[in-house]
Structure 1
Amino acid sequence: MKTETAVIHHVSVGTNDVGRSKRFYDAVLPIVGIMLMADDEGGLGYGSGTFHFSVQVPIDGRPATVGNGSHIAFAVEDRSMVDRFYAAALDHGGRGSGAPGLRPAYDAHYYGAFVRDPDGHKIEVVTYAAK
């Protein structure tokens, strides 16, 4: 039996305010099944299985900045999870960057939403579920 290996081990984004980021990510990541695993003044560690997502103060001591043209997409099981993620993001310091809805240019069933986290990173949540 072949064992599948995750291709991506972890993704990290920078923050200039760990507490503000914690309030945001503690509200949205459990919706996609990713839980807080570590928390200190230098950053936050979230995880699910072998995948890790971290929010960190940059190690070089310079301010965190946003990558232009980059975003992180989290897969969810159904459209209601997309809607809940988007609402929680807006309620916890995020900014809308594309309300929940179908994106037929991508696929007939592509239902997603885009937000900016408190530091400006673009975060997407998406499903291909028909409902």
Structure 2
Amino acid sequence: MLDHTGIVVTDLARARRFYDAIAAALGLQTIDNGDEAFLFGKSAAEPIPYLWIGTTRPSYWVDGSRPGINQMHIAFQARDQAMVDAFYQAALANGGTDNGAPGPRQGAGAYYGAFVLDPDGNNIEACARGQAAQ
């Protein structure tokens, strides 16, 4: 199970607008985490799992690493198709780029998802599975 993951971005304010918008669409929250980062997750009361988003260069990066060089993929659970659709619209309206419009995905069973690229090119998805995908 996921505890946390993180991505480095080039413009924290631009990233915050994007992630605030998709958090609202998915029923999640962004939480302040200092001047150079914020967290994306369920809530301050239920902080784990979370996605760390910041401008600080991680100590584990190898030489040559920079934001967007190793595209990250993160998929968030959605309650239903309407939530996936809301995520997609919020992302596009706040600096995201289409990377796969909402709809069923072949070979994934009962699955409805949407893909966007965040402002730094990371592949961000929202998906509903099973009965929620119907």
* Structure 2 length-normalised TM: 0.82
2:10 equivalent among 1, 13, 16: 16
Residue 64 of structure 1 corresponds to 67
Partner SS, residue 65 of structure 1: coil
- Give the Cα–Cα distance (whole angstroms) in 1 for the partners of residues 16 and 133 of structure 2: 32
- Give the Cα–Cα distance (whole angstroms) in 1 for the partners of residues 69 and 35 of structure 2: 20
Would you say 1:127 and 2:128 are equivalent positions? yes
1:33/1:63 CA distance change after superposition, 3 Å: same
CA distances 1:49-93 after superposition (whole Å, capped 9, x unpaired): 22111111132596412424x411001110000000000000000
Residue 30 of structure 1 corresponds to 24
Residue 73 of structure 1 corresponds to 75
| Cα pair 1:82 1:100 within 8 Å, conserved | yes
Partner SS, residue 104 of structure 1: coil
**How many residue pairs get matched?**
123
- Give the Cα–Cα distance (whole angstroms) in 2 for the partners of residues 40 and 60 of structure 1: 15
1:93/1:105 CA distance change after superposition, 3 Å: same
CA distances 1:29-62 after superposition (whole Å, capped 9, x unpaired): 1222321221543111122122111111132596
**Identity %, equivalent residues:** 36
- Give the Cα–Cα distance (whole angstroms) in 2 for the partners of residues 63 and 116 of structure 1: 17
Partner SS, residue 84 of structure 2: helix
CA RMSD of aligned residues (A): 1.9
Unaligned 5+ segments in structure 1 are 1-6
